């Protein structure tokens, strides 16, 4: 067999292994495997297969109501198949694993870009970049930088040396705006209307703000914003 045939055989073997791991009743379910399978089907141009795998993942998630990441994976693969930004954003909010969360955020940004929603795509890809940067995932960071350059956005000012990883100074302009609006008592949907994003996008922006500021609630965030405004103009 030549190199191409070898690669195809390997991919077939890998897919069969992942199918057994994911869908064998006696096996262990893996949310990452579900997303990988659907990505592989889409990459090969087999949308029917991707849709079938997405349905199987959704069935598996319903059978495991306590499986948070499998529920997130079901939304993730549905979003990939249907280019559904809202589903991808729901997945990002639901994932407990940081890398899976960042991947769903990146996919949401790509879907927004494909739909021509430039502002939403850039805001979402910026957040994905920040997530990857926090984990030190240089390959993923490079991939998102490439996507942002294609969208006409320069990213050189995002280097770690230029902005702290945590604290008020680590927030982007968009994150500061969202923090201010939330501190005024606005709901996620009300904030979304103000900043021209979806409520789900605001939700995972807000989660990222919580991480950076080390707060666990909207009340704590409001207190911090108030203290900051008293100390200096925001």
Note the pLDDT of residue 43: 82
**Distance between CA atoms of 82 and 223, rounded to whole angstroms?**
40
Q: Can you tell me the distance from the alpha carbon of 111 to that of 92, in angstroms, rounded to the nearest whole number?
A: 14
State which H helix or E strand residue 1 sits in: none
Q: What are phi and psi of 188, to 5 degrees?
A: -60, -40
Q: Which residue has the tokens 């890398």?
A: 99
Residue 108 has a CB neighbour count (10 Å cut-off) of 31
The pLDDT assigned to 2 comes to 45
Position 8 scores a pLDDT of 64
- Whole-number Å distance between alpha carbons of 37 and 2: 24
CA triple 153-201-222, angle to 5 deg: 105
Residue 20 has what pLDDT? Answer: 63
Q: What is the reported pLDDT for 165? A: 64
The per-residue pLDDT for 24 is 59
User: How is domain 164-234 classified at the architecture level of CATH?
Assistant: Orthogonal Bundle (1.10)
pLDDT at 160: 46
Q: Given this model, what pLDDT does residue 156 score?
A: 55
- pLDDT for residue 200: 77
Which parts of the chain have pLDDT scores under 70? 1-29, 65-67, 154-165, 230-234
pLDDT value for 82? 94
Distance of CA 102 to the CA centre of its chain: 4
Write the DSSP assignment of 88-124 as a string of letters: HHHHHHH--SHHHHHHHHHHHHHHHHHTT-HHHHHHH
């Amino acid at each position: 067999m030549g190199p191409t045939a070898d690669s195809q055989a390997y991919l077939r073997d890998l897919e069969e292994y992942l199918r057994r791991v994911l869908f064998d009743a006696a096996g262990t379910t893996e949310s990452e495997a579900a997303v990988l399978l659907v990505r592989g089907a889409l990459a090969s141009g087999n949308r029917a297969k991707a849709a079938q795998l997405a349905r199987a993942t959704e069935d598996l998630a319903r059978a495991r109501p306590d499986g948070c990441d499998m529920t997130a994976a079901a939304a993730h693969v549905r979003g990939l198949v249907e280019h559904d930004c809202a589903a991808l954003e729901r997945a990002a909010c639901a994932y407990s694993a940081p890398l899976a969360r960042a991947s769903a955020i990146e996919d949401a940004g790509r879907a927004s870009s494909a739909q021509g929603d430039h502002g939403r795509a850039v805001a979402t890809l910026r957040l994905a970049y920040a997530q990857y940067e926090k984990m030190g995932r240089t390959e993923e960071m490079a991939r998102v930088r490439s996507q942002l350059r294609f969208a006409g956005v320069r990213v050189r000012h995002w280097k770690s040396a230029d902005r702290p990883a945590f604290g008020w100074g680590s927030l982007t302009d968009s994150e500061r705006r969202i923090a201010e609006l939330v501190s005024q008592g606005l709901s996620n949907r009300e904030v979304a209307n103000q900043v021209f994003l979806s409520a789900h996008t605001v939700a995972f922006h807000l989660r990222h703000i919580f991480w950076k500021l080390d707060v666990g609630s909207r009340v704590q965030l409001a207190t911090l914003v108030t203290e900051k405004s008293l100390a200096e103009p925001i």
